[in-house]
Amino acid sequence: MKSTHPGKSNIPARLSAASSPGESEFSATLQITHTPALPPVNWGAAGAQAPTLLSTPADTLPGAAVVVLVWTEAEWAALEHVFCSSATAMPYENRNNGSWSGWQTYSEDIPAVAGWTFWGDYRLVQIGTSKVLLFKSNTHLDFPGESYLEQLISRLIATVKPQLILSTGTAGGARPTDHIGTVNVVRAGTLYESGRPQASWPEYMSPWTANWKLFSAAGFSQLLFPVPTVAADLASLCSQFNTFYKSKYPLTTLNVGGLDMADPSPIINDMTGGNTSLLTADSFLVGTSSGNLGAFACVEMDDAVIAETCVAANVAFGSVRNISDPVQNASLPPAFQAHWGQAVYDAYGFYTSYNGAIAAWAILSAQLQSAQ
């Protein structure tokens, strides 16, 4: 079956400042020229095998050892490439696909909410001898809301009976040293509460730790794909940005600290051995060069709610988040922080999500093998 649905807005709530109209229009027009396809995954370089595709039942969530969640079309495309169709290249233009062959739609007992008709889409694969349920969520903290996201996670726990729920995908930078494409792996989520001191924001932590065995294996680095940022494209983004928003910011102001230029090889950080948490927000919030959110791994929009639900159910939780838009210049007005973050996210989120998906695969492959 081919699951087909209109996509949720590609403007993350965390990048939607109240005073920042026009982002959707700019997203539809921005262009970069250096857009290589994601290559076939050379599993043999790491002595590994691609996940095995299993028959996925319609209308019923199958049992699995792990649930892997993604949230946006670009993240979904990267997950599809790594876990389901790694033998062939995936072109850049596929990054916003709203459907993939072999996926099923989950809408059982969906509550009546205008504009929301299904929980998400799912596909079953196997890593080693263990089943893994891939789930592209249509249920978010910002819409239809926190209670529905909690219901979805509770349904996944009750029906799939996973040992681990792993949330993956794009995120905004929080640490002023993280370049675009950095992947941070954590086991805790903190829920942002506007108007309250940072120390009082609620945190939910799992006892889970990532198995890092494969990251040091010979050939693993060959599975990664450096985010293809080039100076000419960043300069072009800056020009397009200033033309659209009628501004005059130099690239050195927008690309603070050069963080929008990717590292030569993607950096993947295991933070599950400590207490570092990511930060979840359902409204405009960005980390800046001032280090205002520097204690957190990243800023995203769902995972603290998932962590809270998993902790209450005694199910392990982890998050593998890639930095699709690094911290913003603290001197910029909030609306322009949002605009530039959105531009970088739109241009490169497909590529940053690929390395996040590879990291998720490596963690699961090692963990599931050790459990056999």
Higher pLDDT, 188 or 284: 188
Bridge partners for 124 per DSSP: 133
Residue 42: C-alpha distances to residues 33, 38, 112, 211 (Å): 25, 12, 45, 21
**27: pLDDT strictly greater than 70:** yes
At a CB cut-off of 8 Å and minimum separation 6, what does 167 contact?
Answer: 69, 71, 302, 303, 306, 317, 318, 319, 320, 321
pLDDT for 22: 65
Which structural domain, as residue segments, surrounds residue 162? 2-32+39-371
pLDDT in tens, 34-47: 999 999 999 999 99
pLDDT for 307: 98
**128: pLDDT strictly greater than 50:** yes
- pTM of the predicted protein model: 0.95
Do the Cβ atoms of 67 and 54 come closer than 8 Å?
no
Which regions of the chain does DSSP assign to beta strands (E)? 2-4, 52-53, 66-70, 99-101, 104-106, 120-127, 130-137, 164-172, 183-186, 188-191, 203-205, 268-270, 278-280, 299-300, 316-325
User: Which CATH number covers residue 249?
Assistant: 3.40.50.1580
Distance CA 146, CA 334 (A): 25
The three-class DSSP label of residue 328 is strand
Distance CA 111, CA 7 (A): 19
Do the Cβ atoms of 336 and 249 come closer than 8 Å?
yes
pLDDT for 283: 85
At a CB cut-off of 8 Å and minimum separation 6, what does 33 contact?
Answer: 232, 233, 236
Span 197-206, average pLDDT = 97
270 pLDDT band, cuts 50/70/90, is very high
Dihedral over alpha carbons 256, 260, 266, 267 (to 10 degrees): 20
The number of folded domains in the chain is: 1
**Which of the residue ranges 13-17, 153-157, 161-165, 311-315 would you say has the lowest mean pLDDT?**
13-17
pLDDT for 290: 98
Do the Cβ atoms of 173 and 296 come closer than 8 Å?
no
Bridge partners for 121 per DSSP: 105, 136
